[in-house]
Amino acid sequence: MKQAGIFITLEGVEGAGKSTAVASVAAFFSQRGLQVECSREPGGTPTAETIRHILLNPTAEALAEPAELMLLFAARAQHVAHRIKPALAAGKIMICDRFTDSSRAYQGAGRGMDRALIEILAKAAEQGLEPHLTLLLDLPVAAGLARAAARRGLTLRDRFEREPAEFFERIRAEFLQLAAQTPRIVIINAAKPLAEVQAQIHAVLQAKFPKIAARPLGEHHG
């Protein structure tokens, strides 16, 4: 399937502000008349959302690590085939809260799973798809966990949120290492106040997509 649109992913540790940033990225494009679709992983299609429920449910049967890994990639394969690729073929801007870099960081560094296996599964699920741009929202783990806890209030922590701080430290370090090795990944300092984070995101989008940034702002609906 031909890929005419733009695929942007957001990554980071828990509570980094990815969901909030998705809205800023979406506004940049929709205000300039482009059609935008937002999604998340794990999830994004009915089957992938069912798998998400299994993955995050803290009260269900414990998941063996290989089962967790394969469920994540099964959800991703559905998402790529039935949502992301069709949106890109239609020329849309597809913005996704987490993608394969999360598997590299959480399952690779966090759980210590086989990196080569992760790349084989990624190849099978992605079918040649790669993000044009990845924004890594980086902040100290303690700050992210505090933001997430404040937002969660009294609701139960999910299966990942129950992991110790060291797990998230390994994940943060892996994300930073991936960014150092991968030109498509740009680091955003997510420890700053929201307005500053949004300004950093805007500057990255302006530099990466100058022709789109130059379009007049209007009352478009994407």
CB of 70 or CB of 212, closer to ligand Z5A: 70
Cα 213–chain centre separation: 23
- Tell me which stretch binds ligand Z5A (CB under 6 A): 9-17, 26-34, 127-135, 214-222: 9-17
* Number of residues this chain uses to bind ligand Z5A (CB under 6 A): 26
- Take residue 96 and report the two structure tokens written for it: 């996704």
119, 161, 169, 174: residue in contact with ligand Z5A (rule CB under 6 A): 161
39, 102, 134, 200: residue in contact with ligand Z5A (rule CB under 6 A): 102
Q: Does 88 bind ligand Z5A (CB under 6 A)?
A: no
String of contacts with ligand Z5A for each residue 13-52, x by CB under 6 A: -xxxxxxx-------------------xxx----------
Residue 17 three-state SS? coil
Supply the minimum distance, in Å, between the C-beta of residue 214 and ligand Z5A: 27
CB of 5 or CB of 108, closer to ligand Z5A: 108
Q: What is the CB-side half-sphere exposure of residue 149 using CA atoms within 13 A? A: 7
CB of 145 or CB of 212, closer to ligand Z5A: 145
Residues 179-198 close enough to bind ligand Z5A by CB under 6 A: 190, 193-194, 197
What torsion, rounded to 10 degrees, do the Cα atoms 124, 128, 133, 139 define? 10
Q: Does 147 bind ligand Z5A (CB under 6 A)?
A: yes
Supply the minimum distance, in Å, between the C-beta of residue 162 and ligand Z5A: 9
For 93, phi then psi, to 5°, come to: -90, 115
The long-range contacts involving 138-141, CB below 8 angstroms and separated by at least 24 positions, are: 138/12, 138/16, 138/172, 138/175, 138/176, 138/187, 138/188, 138/189, 138/190, 138/191, 139/12, 139/13, 139/16, 139/17, 139/189, 139/190, 139/191, 140/172, 140/191, 141/13, 141/165, 141/168, 141/169, 141/172
Supply the minimum distance, in Å, between the C-beta of residue 50 and ligand Z5A: 15
- Whole-number Å distance between alpha carbons of 212 and 222: 14
Which positions lie near ligand Z5A, rule CB under 6 A?
Answer: 12, 14-20, 40-42, 72, 98, 102-103, 106-107, 147-148, 151, 160-161, 190, 193-194, 197
